[in-house]
Amino acid sequence: MEIERAKKERDEKVIAVKEALNRAREEVAQMLQERETEAEKVRLNIEAKGKAELKAAENEARALVSLGQSYQDNQAVLKYQLQMQALDVAKRLMENAPRPLVVNSQAEASSSPLSTLLLAQMLPTMMKQPSPENGHRVQMPDWVDSPEE
C-alpha cells in the first residue's frame, strides 16, 4: 500500500508538474504573442510615419519645382517688360531727336542776302512744327513752293 500511495503521489506530482509546464508554455506563448503584437504596432507606426514624411518631402519637392518655375516665368516676364520699356524709350528719343535740315541751293544763291533772309525766316517756323511719325518730313510754308508771278 505504501508503494501504491507513493506511486499515486508520484503520479500526482508528475501531473502537477505537467500542468505547471503547460501553464508556463501557455503564458510564454501569450507573452510572445503580446510582444509580437506590440512589435507589429511599432512597425506599423514607423512605416506610417515614414510614409507621411516621404509624402511631405515629395510635396515639398513639387512645391519647390513649382516655385522655381514661377521664378523663371516671372524673370522672363520682367525681361520682356524691360525690353518693351527700352523700345518705348528708344521710340520717344527717336521721335524727339533733332531733325537734320538740308538746304539745297544753287551755287551762288546760298551766299546771297535774300536766301539768307528767307532761310532765317523759315527756320523758326519749321522747328516749331511737331515732328511726324518718322521725324524726317517737314512741311514747308506755302509761299516757298509757290511759283513766282
Q: What is the pLDDT of residue 145?
A: 52
Asked if 115 contacts 105 with a C-beta cutoff of 8 angstroms, the reply is: yes
pLDDT at 124: 79
Alpha carbon 72 to chain centroid, angstroms: 5
Residue 67: the pLDDT is 96
Judged by DSSP in three states, 108 sits in: coil
User: In this structure, what DSSP letter does residue 111 have?
Assistant: G
Q: Is the pTM of this model over 0.75?
A: no
End-to-end CA distance of the chain: give it in Å, rounded.
175
Min mean pLDDT across 22-26, 61-65, 70-74, 104-108 is at 104-108
Q: Express each pLDDT in 119-131 by its tens digit.
A: 788 777 777 766 5
pLDDT at 119: 77
At 119, which amino acid appears? L
Q: Is 139 helix (H, G, I), strand (E, B) or coil?
A: coil
| Domains of the chain by residue range | 1-93
Do the Cβ atoms of 90 and 82 come closer than 8 Å? no
| Average pLDDT score over residue span 143-148 | 51
